[in-house]
């Protein structure tokens, strides 16, 4: 319980991916070196040989990689993460290489891009454990700069030149092949998703949107390194904080609407209240005076018959 909930979520995710990609990088590097697997050239996919036997000594590694990509797709999809698109494209890419009888391409491709994942997840783990202050902050910024440099070279130059370009040329020569269509769509889709979820793209968004008004951007995590490396928080404590902030903002708006904004408004409201009170007092006085007059008239009417009776009695006594 040393770390907060959102730190534990980040650390658990980063350790899982760091462990796999580190092992995958070591296995794929050793396999590529042992079997002398080279990058495909522009003539590799000109003629498709779908009857070539699959290398038996690579099938276990290929199956493990495919299973990991498929399980990661399911896991990310359950968490509603955009990274699920990357893994579904990777799963499709590995499936099409099997039908092409070229599973060596999966080993070589994983070996190429997994180094970026290893450095990224290691940097995330360090940022979760160590507080970026002083020298540590400078160290984390240096590691982030190195990561962005490696990502730019690898994803914007090496992978397009050694994988996308040969596959595109193979598609132009075999445009009716369903396998070549699937390979191109899956690899181009994977690259687009990787760039969209990359630290480089998040860093650009942070510099463009978050720094201008960070208080009105809930996705902003504060520091540049955090925004570049981590997704926006989605833990219970953070969601409660957002709800409390929204409630407070609504209460402030209601109070602002209730308060008069100018002294003239206060004076006008006071005069209206005084005039209304005067009208009520005058109306009450009039009603009271009318009620008194009515009571006097009623008493006079009631006393007049008695006087008549007394006069009649006096006349009778005189006659007697």
| Chain Cα centroid distance, residue 62 | 34
The SS3 of residue 230 is coil
DSSP 184: H
Burial of 310 (0-12, 13-18, 19+ CB in 10 A): exposed
Can you give the pTM of this predicted structure? 0.72
Distance CA 263, CA 256 (A): 15
- Nearest-CA neighbor of 203 among 151, 243, 166? 151
Distance CA 190, CA 182 (A): 12
Distance CA 123, CA 146 (A): 11
- List all residues 6 or more positions away from 119 whose beta carbon is below 8 Å from its beta carbon: 143, 146, 147, 150
R_g of the chain computed on alpha carbons: 42
| pLDDT per residue rounded down to tens, the chain (320 residues) | 577 777 888 888 999 999 999 999 999 999 999 888 888 877 677 667 666 777 778 899 999 999 999 999 999 999 888 899 999 999 999 999 988 888 889 999 999 999 999 999 999 998 888 877 778 888 888 888 999 999 999 999 999 999 999 888 888 888 778 888 999 999 999 999 999 999 888 888 877 776 656 555 555 666 778 888 887 777 777 778 778 888 888 888 887 776 655 556 666 677 778 788 888 787 777 776 766 565 545 444 444 444 444 444 444 344 34
- List all residues 6 or more positions away from 126 whose beta carbon is below 8 Å from its beta carbon: 140, 143
- Nearest-CA neighbor of 167 among 153, 154, 181, 152? 181
């Amino acid at each position: 319980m040393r770390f907060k909930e959102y730190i534990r979520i980040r650390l658990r995710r980063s350790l899982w991916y760091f462990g796999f990609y580190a092992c995958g990088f070591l296995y794929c590097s050793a396999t590529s070196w042992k079997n002398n697997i080279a990058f495909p050239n522009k003539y590799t996919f000109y003629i498709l040989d779908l009857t070539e036997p699959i290398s038996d000594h690579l099938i276990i590694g290929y199956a493990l990689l495919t299973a990991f990509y498929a399980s990661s797709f399911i896991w990310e999809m359950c968490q509603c993460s955009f990274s699920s698109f990357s893994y579904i494209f990777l799963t499709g890419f590995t499936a099409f290489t099997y039908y092409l009888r070229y599973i060596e391409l999966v080993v070589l491709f994983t070996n190429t891009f997994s180094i970026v994942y290893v450095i990224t997840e290691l940097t995330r783990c360090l940022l979760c454990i160590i507080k970026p202050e002083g020298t540590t902050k400078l160290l984390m910024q240096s590691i982030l700069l190195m990561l962005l440099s490696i990502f730019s070279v690898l994803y914007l130059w090496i992978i397009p030149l050694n994988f996308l370009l040969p596959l595109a040329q193979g598609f132009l020569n075999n445009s009716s092949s369903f396998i070549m269509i699937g390979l191109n769509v899956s690899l181009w889709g994977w690259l687009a998703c990787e760039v969209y979820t990359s630290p480089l793209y998040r860093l650009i968004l942070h510099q463009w949107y978050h720094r201008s008004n960070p208080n009105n951007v809930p996705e902003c995590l504060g520091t540049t390194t955090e925004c570049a490396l981590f997704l926006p928080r989605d833990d219970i404590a953070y969601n409660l904080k957002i709800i409390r902030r929204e409630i407070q903002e609504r209460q402030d708006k209601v109070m602002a609407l209730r308060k008069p904004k100018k002294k003239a408004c206060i004076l006008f409201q006071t005069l209206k209240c005084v005039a209304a009170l005067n009208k009520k007092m005058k109306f009450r006085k009039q009603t009271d005076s009318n009620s008194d007059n009515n009571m006097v008239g009623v008493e006079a009417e009631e006393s007049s018959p008695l006087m008549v009776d007394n006069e009649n009695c006096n006349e009778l006594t005189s006659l007697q």
